Amino acid sequence: MILINENYTKLPGSYLFSDIARKVNEFKTAHPDATIIRLGIGDVTKPLPQASIEAMHKAVDEMAHAATFRGYGPEQGYDFLVNTIVENDYKARGLDISADEVFVSDGSKSDTGNIGDILGLDNIVAITDPVYPVYVDTNVMAGRAGDLLDNGKWSKVVYLPCTAENDFVPSLPTEKVDIIYLCYPNNPTGTTLTKDQLKIWVDYALKNKALILFDSAYEAFITESDVPHSIYEIEGAKEVAIEFRSFSKTAGFTGTRCAYTVVPKALMGYTKSGEKVSLNKLWNRRHTTKFNGVPYIIQRAAEACYSVEGKKQVKETIGYYLNNAKIIREGLSAQGLKVYGGVNSPYIWVKTPSGMTSWGFFDYLLNELNVVGTPGVGFGPSGEGYLRLTAFGTLENTKEAVSRLRKISI
């Protein structure tokens, strides 16, 4: 008899964005002439930096000749990319991260989901609420989440509400937790923590021997000086935090797939008997066993993002999306809606008008204005009453979407 992992049967029927896609497809079938503007899923529209394209072409040519052909590469990433990451993303900010603490991968989504492989099932998990669904779902799959309750929460997960009432700043847990997921700039709310606010979490983790899983996929969008680009800017963080970074939203690699995770050698986990174990060594073992590495061609493209021209092109792309965010934020604010985020982030978090539910507002925008957002409740119970919009569309579609949103009449 083939036994399954029964934790999978506890998950809701489908992934949030699958539900959205189904609703949009049903609408398109019923209204084939409608022009739909999608500001829901966080996919990008700007092409890869020209520097990356040129690097890929060169790398493809190398693969055509025996003398320069590359087969299996190091699972952790080629030295040329890892060293470039260390120099530009860490040492340039005065942070002491070494090459053997960096692991190149095919995406932060993969890594934030897979990191649980090296962590015990008895750990108590804390998440900010609302939250990127992958953090929760992968813990459900592993068996750490317990059962889904009628209030939309999982019985073994500690929820840290982030709403307008607390300025979207989570409070420290009042009960014991072992693993804390933090994503800043935040997906979905688009809000941030200052260095002082993040220090509170690092100090908590140090005191309680807890692990912070810090998703920094949107750090390139930071515009304010008091918002840290890396958790390692906070003293002591290397002893308690793993950081996840991605080229997806920074340089348009959503379809090209490249990211990296930093696991400091100073970071320790513990056996049940209290023995210290290096999480860096555990992740290295997991990574090299289950992953064959990002393709050479893609890593050359990622490396090119750090060239003089690459940095300029990436900065222009980030500026393009931040301008879209500004247009959405200011347009909705002028409409009288309460909006958050969109300053250090490509996400705008909108309070639904007239007490509408998240899905109710989603349906209204789709059916009446042909604009697609993401219902806030899909990110967790505290997301009810909000909707997420993204700035990753084209400038033309963004302006048109805002023009349509000005017609909201509820």
**pLDDT over threshold 90, residue 248:** yes
345 labelled ligand-binding: no
109 is in an annotated binding site: yes
- What's the confidence (pLDDT) of residue 391? 98
Task: Tell me the CATH number of domain 8-47+310-406, given options 3.10.310.30, 3.50.50.60, 3.90.1300.10, 3.90.1150.10.
Answer: 3.90.1150.10
Report the SS3 class of residue 280.
helix
* pLDDT value of position 320: 98
| Alpha carbon distance 143, 121 (integer Å) | 7
Residue 15 confidence (pLDDT) above 80: no
**Tens digits of residue pLDDT in 264-280:** 999 999 999 999 999 99
Cis, bond preceding 130 (omega within 30 deg of 0): yes
Task: Give residue for tokens 């204005």.
Answer: 369
Q: 341 CB contacts (<8 Å, ≥6 apart)?
A: 185, 186, 189, 190, 191, 325, 329, 347, 348, 349
To the question of whether residue 25 is assigned a binding role by annotation, the answer is: no
- And the tokens for 229? 């680009």
* 257 known ligand binder: yes
301: confidence class by pLDDT, cuts 50, 70, 90: very high
Query: Which residues are CB-contacts of 197 (< 8 A; sequence separation ≥ 6)?
Result: 169
Residue 248 known to bind ligand = yes
CB atoms within 10 A of CB 327: 18
The verdict on whether residue 17 carries a ligand-binding annotation is no
Is residue 311 a known part of a binding site?
no
Per-residue pLDDT, averaged over 24-46, amounts to: 94
Report the alpha-carbon distance of residue 28 to residue 370 in Å, rounded: 10
User: 353 with 19: CB under 8 angstroms?
Assistant: no
Question: Is the confidence at residue 19, as pLDDT, over 90?
Answer: no
Give the mean pLDDT of 35-56: 95
Q: Are strands 276-278 and 179-183 parallel, antiparallel or unpaired?
A: unpaired
Tokens for 187?
A: 């997906």
Instruction: Please indicate if the annotation marks 78 as binding a ligand.
Output: no
53-307 CATH: 3.40.640.10
Dihedral, CA of residue 140, residue 144, residue 147 and residue 153, to nearest 10 = -80
208 is in an annotated binding site: no
What mean pLDDT, rounded, does the chain reach? 97
* pLDDT(199) > 80: yes
Contact 334, 402 (CB under 8 A): no
For 170-192, the pLDDT digits (tens) are: 999 999 999 999 999 999 999 99
Q: Pull the structure tokens for residue 272.
A: 């049940």
- 247 labelled binding-site residue: yes
The answer on whether 42 is annotated among ligand-binding residues is yes
User: How far is residue 301's CA from residue 50's CA, in Å, rounded to a whole number?
Assistant: 10
14 pLDDT higher than 80: no
Is 132 marked as a binding-site residue? Answer: yes
Over pLDDT 90: what percentage of the chain? 96
C-beta neighbour count of 394 within 10 angstroms = 13
Amino acid, single-letter form, for residue 49: P
- Do 8-47+310-406 and 53-307 fold alike per CATH? no
Q: Is the pLDDT of residue 285 over 80?
A: yes
How far apart are alpha carbons 308 and 234 in whole angstroms? 28
Residue 342 CB coordination number (10 Å)? 28
pLDDT band at 18 (very low <50, low <70, confident <90, very high): confident
What is the average pLDDT across 363-385?
A: 96
129's tokens: 């609420």
**Cα–Cα dist 277/119, whole Å:** 11
Token pair 């061609």 is found at: 297
Contact 159, 381 (CB under 8 A): yes
Domain coordinates in residue numbering, the chain: 8-47+310-406, 53-307
Binned at pLDDT 50, 70 and 90, residue 41 comes out as confident
The per-residue pLDDT for 177 is 98
User: DSSP assignment, residue 153?
Assistant: -
User: If you average pLDDT over residues 310-317, what whole number do you get?
Assistant: 98
For residue 12, the model assigns a pLDDT of 85
Average pLDDT over residues 125-146: 97
Is residue 402's pLDDT more than 90?
Answer: yes
pLDDT value of position 357:
97
Residue 42: pLDDT band with limits 50, 70, 90: confident
Q: At what angle do helices 308-334 and 50-63 cross, to 10 degrees?
A: 140
Question: Above 90 in pLDDT, residue 49?
Answer: yes
SS3 307: coil
